[in-house]
Every structure is written in C-alpha cells, then in structure tokens.
Amino acid sequence: MTHPYKSGNGARRIILVEVPNQTKGDIVRYPVSMAILSATLLAACAAQPPAPKQYQPIPLGLFSDGIHHWQNLHGKDYPRYREDQIVEIANNVLLYQRDNGGWIENRDPARILDDSDIKAAEAEKANPKGSFDNRNVYSQVEYLFAAYDQTGNKTYRQAALKGLRYTLSMQHKKCGGWPHTVPGAQPYHPYITMADEVTSGVLRMLRKVEQADPPFKSVDAADRTAATDARKRGDACVLQLQVRQNDKLAGWAGQYDPETLQPAQGRSFELPSMVSQESVEMARYLMSIPAPSPEVVAAIDGVMAWFERSKLTGWKIETIKLDQPVKYDYHTATTDRRLVQDPDAGPLWGRFYDVKDNSIVLANRDGIRVKDYSQIHHERRTGYAWYGVWPTKVLYEEYPAWKKRMGRG
C-alpha cells in the first residue's frame, strides 16, 4: 500500500511503501521516490516475456496424403499443432529434412514430438533416401517458403532452396519426369512416376517458381532459371509419354521405364497399364497452363475423349458391412465390395486400362491378372480402389469450363 508524502523541503515527490514485517507482525513504511519506483516498475515490465507473435495459418492440405498414411499406421490419437503454429510446424519440417535436401514420405509435420521422436529424426538425417511419393518433397519446399515469407527466418528459406535444388537434381535425364523414391528399395522406385502426382506435382511447383508466384518470390534468378529449364523438359516428357491407342491419344501409365519409356509395373498388383486416376491429375495440370501450346491442347482433348470412351454405364460398386472386422497388414476391413448392375448408376471407371485393347486390368498381390472383380482377394477389394468416379468432375465440369476460357466452348 502506498501513501503520498512530501519531503521537508518539498523538492521531491516521494511515497511511503508499506511492507509487512514478518518478524514482529506489524507494518513498516519506507519512503521511496517516484523516480525510483517508476524505474523499478519499468524494469519489471521489461522482464516479462513478450507475447508470442501471431501468424496466419498455412494450410496443411499439401501434406494430407502423407498425414493420411501416417495415421493409417499410427492412429489419430496424438497431439498436433494448430495450423497457425507455423514456426513449430516449420521446425518439424526442418527436422525431418535429410542432409541431402530431401524428405522421406508419410510423416505428419503437425505432430508434437517428444524427445525420443526428435532423436529418431536426427538419427535419420544422414540417410540419403528421399521420396516424391504421396505428394512429398515439393510440399515441404512450398511450406518452408511460405513460413519464411511470414517469419523472415532465413533458415527456412535456405532449407527450402536446398529442397528445390534436390528436386531439380532428381529429374530423369532421358525424359524429364521424376522418380518415386531415391535410392530405390523396390524395382519401380526409380521409374518415371505419374502416380500420386509425383511428376505433375513437381511441375506445378516449378511453374510457381518460374512465375514468382507466392510463396516463391524470394527464389533468386539462377534457381528460377534452373526451375524453368526443368519445367520445360518435364512438360515435353509428359507429352511424349501419353499413350496412343489406334493413333488416338489416351491416358498415362502410373510409371514408365526411364530407358525404354514404356509403361512399367508398379507394385505387384499394379500391372503395366494406363491409370484413370493419375490421368485425371495430369489433365488438371495441363489445363492449368495459362497459354497452352497446340500440343498441350491436343493432349487434353485426347485424354478427355479417352475418359469418355472408357466409362462404364449401368454398374456400381456396392459396399456390404461385415459381421466381424478382418485385420490385414495395412488396414482393417469392416466391409466387403462387389460390382453390381444398376441401370440408374452414374458413370464408373476402372482404375487400370490395358494399353492395347483398353480392357480393365485387375490383379492380386501375386501379380496375376484376373478377369472379374469377384476374383480379387478380399484384402485388395477393401484396401484398394479398383473402380471409381475420378474423371467425373474433370470431364463434365472442368474440361467444359477450360474450353470456354480458351474460347473453344
């Protein structure tokens, strides 16, 4: 408690500060000058830690596939950072980055790590393995550039540039696509990969870098030129690898042998074939090009015509609930699926199509092709999408809108 008090000559303004005497149980009054008290209060305020800076959330949508795969294996019951905690998330991205500039796939950058998690990630840094699978690497590069834009932390920019240069170094020489994983642990890992937006995802990022679109404004001229050159080679490769059937442009395979440039096998049940889902994403990438060349326009028209002639009508996938769940290595099945006739069903597409005759390709983990969906093992029927509606939106909404923008609609 304080009381105003003037010294005898009235020259200084002081106050009496009451302090309890713990020994005698009474109150002791100390005269303190206003100047000293003000300085003391200012020092106390200065000693308080500043309020944490507020940042705009950076959406984690680019990481959604990797997060999904992480949670499939580890569940969802773990603490995570909010999207506006961009420093904490960016620091995780830094931690996960390998010494060579790449990242391994299927991590959740928003996971709150404990000491053992941090030590494990640090121990992996020297491992040269990196993967573009499941929308990886280019997602981390973009996130770090976005974090740098808000925070000004040069470490984020340096790591992002390292990731960009890593990406450029992994482009195939003969045909400018990107591999699944390097160094490869499976036969298909080194292949030029269209699956999971490996090549199309990298090309989308490189176009942003080339055009200095946010968050890539801080990329210097030399790296921007390198990105432009890689993008041009990548676009040429995409056009070169589009499959032709009876001299008609069709879709793209999931992966290609980098030497023969022929459609190649992915996992044991993913036989060499065109993939409708991956062709949708490639078409979307091509339609995002602001001023497409006649070759790009022909590629888009070709894949859309292929979607149209490849659709199934009068069929649907029916889901049946199981009495008891069945646990497999990579998922637990609570349902079964079957292909049934339905005259009212909308268009349906197979995932894989034969390069030569355009028949739907189905196979089990033993790599043997089967004729009917019912011959697919229950584990693969429920753990993999063999039929779907992937082309519906791009064919019936996005393609007409694109033609109208191009003055063709």
Q: What is the pLDDT along the chain (409 residues), one digit of tens a residue?
A: 444 444 444 445 555 555 555 555 555 555 656 656 566 656 655 666 666 688 999 999 999 999 999 998 899 999 999 999 999 999 999 999 999 999 999 999 999 999 999 999 999 999 999 999 999 999 999 999 999 999 999 999 999 999 999 999 999 999 999 999 999 999 999 999 999 999 999 999 999 999 999 999 999 999 999 999 999 999 999 999 999 999 999 999 999 999 999 999 999 999 999 999 999 999 999 999 999 999 999 999 999 999 999 999 999 999 999 999 999 988 899 999 999 999 999 999 999 999 999 999 999 999 999 999 999 999 999 999 999 999 999 999 999 999 999 998 7
What pTM was computed for the model? 0.85
Q: How far from the centroid of its chain's Cα atoms is residue 6's Cα?
A: 70
Going by C-beta distance under 8 Å and a sequence separation of 6 or more, which residues neighbour residue 189?
Answer: 179, 180, 181, 182, 183
Distance CA 45, CA 49 (A): 9
Q: Classify residue 8 by burial, with Cβ atoms within 10 Å: 0-12, 13-18, 19+.
A: exposed
Distance CA 297, CA 294 (A): 5
Distance CA 105, CA 108 (A): 9
Distance CA 127, CA 132 (A): 16
